[in-house]
Amino acid sequence: MADTEIFMGVVGLIILLLLAYPFFIKRNPMIKMQQDDFQDEKEQVFMQLSELEYDYQMGKIPEKAYINTKSELTSKASKYVSHSNEDLIEIEKRVDIEISEVLNKSRVGKELMNEK
């Protein structure tokens, strides 16, 4: 009986240590920085696309410059969009949708600011 109690105590301690282990390990700060940098770069590219679209719609930039710049930025943005064997047209559609969403959000935000 004493052997069984000792064995159960050891098993219980091992289980407790396994459950508590994630709370005591240090996470690599470089991984977090890389994730933050990736997210920052992604947001920057999509914001540039959004601003480009807005400037073009407002007539601030010529069509040729718009097309060239959009092509470059779309190429950059495509690396941030998860995809598996999707063609470039599908990626461009996604980028356009995300640009529209950002524009709509920024318009709503500006409208709210103008109302105050």
What is the pLDDT, as a whole number, of residue 3?
79
pLDDT tens per residue, the chain (116 residues)?
677 888 888 888 888 888 887 777 766 666 666 667 778 888 898 899 889 888 888 889 898 998 899 999 888 888 777 654 455 677 778 888 888 887 777 765 555 545 54
Map out the domains of the chain as residue ranges. Answer: 27-115
Contact, 94 vs 111, CB < 8 A? no
What is the pLDDT, as a whole number, of residue 31?
61
Rounded Cα gap, residues 72 and 102, in angstroms: 19
Q: Name the E strands within 1-116.
A: none
Question: pTM (2 decimals)?
Answer: 0.46
Helix segments in 58-87, DSSP class H: 63-78
